[in-house]
Amino acid sequence: MDDLSVPPHMSPDEFRTYGHQLVDWVADYWTSLPQRRVRPADPPGAVAAKLPAGPPATGDGFASLVDDLDTIIAPGLTHWQHPRFFAYFPANTSGPSVLGDLVAAGLGVQGMLWATGPACTEVETVVLDWLADLLDLPEKFRSRSTGGGVIQDSASSATLVATLAALHRASGGDWRAEGTRRRYTVYTSTEGHSSIEKAARMAGIGDAGLRLIEVDEETLAMRPDRLRERIAADVAAGAVPALVVATVGTTSTTAVDPLPAIAEITREYGIWLHVDAAYAGSAAVCPELRAGQVGLEHADSYCFDPHKWLLTGFDCDAFWVADRAGLIQALSVLPEYLRNAATDSDAVIDYRDWQVPLGRRFRALKLWFVLRWYGAEGLRAHIRSHVALARDFAALVRADQRFEIVAPYPYALVVFRLRGAAPDDADRANAALLERLNADGGVYLSHTRVRGRYALRLAVGSPRTTAADVAAAWDAIRSAADAVAGGSSV
C-alpha cells in the first residue's frame, strides 16, 4: 500500500481469510445472543460518539474493523435475532439466508432486465412459483398463468405498486390527467397498515382520497357492510373507487379481514383488491393456518414478507399479481438505452417493470437457499413451533386473573394487558409495566392500542426462542406487574 496511486483492493486471498473470519464472527454473535441484553441501555448518540470524525486517509487494517464490530456495533444494537426479542413482528433470518445473501453480494449482479441477469430473473420467477405452491395460493398468481410473482424490498413497496396498478386500471391509464375532475378513492380498515396511507399520498390520491373503514368490535376485522356503504356513497358523489386493501394479520393484533365478503364488493364494483399479509402470510406454509386466505382467489394482488417470519433476512417481500400485463402497463417506461433483443422479443420478464426502482439485486438467491435448506416440512415445523409457544403463553396469561387477552391470536402474536376498572389508570399501569419490563434488557416487548386502550404485544418469532424463553418472559411480566401494583417507581 506504499504507492498511493494504486487502490488497495482486497485480493481474493485476503477476502478468503477475512471472509472466513467474519463468518466465524457472525456464528459467534448468534451463539452469544442469550448472554446479551436484548436492547442497549445507552442514550442516543452513544454509538456516534465512539466513531472518529471522518474516514481514514489511508486504509485501516481489517483487524481494527473487526474490533469495532465487537466494541461499538454489537453493543449498540437492538438484537432482533435474540431469543427473548418479542417486540413488533419478528425480522428473523437464518444461516442459509445469510449465505445466499453473501453469494448475491459477491456476484454483484444488477438484475433490472432479464438481459442484465438471466439467472437472477429466472430463479426469482421459479422461486415465487414454488412459494405460491407452498402457500397454496390461487393458480392465477403463477407465472404459467396470467400473473406472476416478484420480490419487492418491503410490503410497503408492494402496496405502492398495487396502488399504482389499481389507479392505472381504474383510470384507463392516467389518473392525474389534466382536466379530468374524477376523484379516486382507496379503502382499508382503521387497522390497515400505515404504508397504505403513505402509498395513497405518493400516488397523488392524498389523505382526502383514503377511506378508513370501521372494524368489528370483537374481531377488529374490516366490516364489509361499512365498506359497501362507503363505496356506494363515494360512487354516488362521483368518485371512482380504485383500490381496497384487505389485511390478513393486522400489525396491531393480527386481525383477519373477511376476504370473501370484501371480494364480493370489489367484484361488483370492479375495484382492485390487494391483500396485505405481510406478517401472517408465512403461516400459510401450514395447511391448518390457511383460514385467513379463503377468498384470495378473488384478489388482484397479494403480498407477504418472508423477511418477517420465514427465516429469510430483511429485505424480502413476495408480491404476486393476477394480471401481469396490467402491472407492466402501469409501470413500464422504456428508454432507448435499455432496449435489447430479449426485451423486444417479449419472451422474457424484465422485473424493472414490476417495481418502483430500476435496479434490483439478486434477492431470490437467499429465498432459494432457505426453501432448499429447510424444505416445506422444515418451514412448517418452524411456524408450528412458534404458534405453539404463543398459545402456551396465552394460556399463562389467561390463568392469571390480573391480566386479560384483548384480541384473537390465530398466529404467534398475543396482545394482552393488565385489567383495570378505570381505563386511564389501567393505561398508565400497562405503560408503566412495559417500561419496567423492557428496562433491564432481559426481554423486549412492544405495545399497541386496541379499542383505544393501551395493550402489550408478545410476538414469538426468533428461531432461537424456546419454551424456557417464553416462560422467562412471563416471569418477568409478572414481577413487573407486582412492582407496578406495589407502586414502586419505574
Residues that bind ligand PLP (CB under 6 A): 89, 154-156, 193, 195, 247, 250-251, 276, 278-279, 305, 317
The C-alpha atoms of residue 83 and residue 313 are separated, in whole angstroms, by 16
* Least Å from the CB of residue 290 to ligand PLP: 17
Q: How far is the CB of 430 from ligand PLP (least distance, A)?
A: 22
Q: Which is nearer to ligand PLP, 94 or 247 (CB)?
A: 247
Looking at the Cβ atoms of 191 and 427, the one nearer to ligand PLP is 191
Using only C-alpha atoms, the chain has a radius of gyration, in whole angstroms, of 24
> Measured from the CB atom, is 383 or 418 closer to ligand PLP?
383
3-state DSSP assignment of residue 232: helix
413 versus 437: smaller Cβ distance to ligand PLP: 413
**Angstrom distance (rounded) from CA 279 to CA 317:** 10
Longest dimension (CA), the chain: 76
Min CB(278)–ligand PLP separation in Å: 3
Smallest gap, in angstroms, from Cβ of residue 192 to ligand PLP?
8
Q: How far is the CB of 299 from ligand PLP (least distance, A)?
A: 15
- Judged by beta carbon, residue 302 or residue 403, the one nearer ligand PLP is 302
CB of 106: closest distance to ligand PLP in angstroms?
25
Give the closest residue to 185 by CA, choosing from 87, 73, 271. 271
Q: Can you tell me whether residue 198 is helix, strand or coil?
A: helix
Phi, psi of 214 (to 5 degrees): -55, 150
Q: Are 450 and 220 in contact (CB under 8 A)?
A: yes
- Helices 467-485 and 423-439 pack at an angle, to 10 degrees, of 130
- CB of 111 or CB of 306, closer to ligand PLP: 306
What is the smallest separation between the CB atom of 162 and ligand PLP, expressed in angstroms?
A: 12
- Name 15's Cβ contacts closer than 8 Å, sequence gap at least 6: none
CA 161 to chain centre: 15
DSSP conformation class of 73 = I
Burial category of 364 from C-beta neighbours within 10 Å (exposed 0-12, middle 13-18, buried 19 and up): buried
CA distance 152 to 74: 28
Report the nearest approach of ligand PLP to the CB of residue 317 (Å).
Answer: 5
Looking at the Cβ atoms of 281 and 295, the one nearer to ligand PLP is 281
Identify whether the C-beta of residue 98 lies closer than 8 Å to the C-beta of residue 369.
no
**Residue 250 vs 266, nearer CB to ligand PLP:** 250
Question: Nearest approach, Cβ of 461 to ligand PLP (angstroms)?
Answer: 12
Closest CA to 240 of 212, 205, 207: 205
User: Closest CB to ligand PLP among 116 and 448?
Assistant: 448
CA 239 to chain centre: 31
The β-bridge partners of 183 are: 239
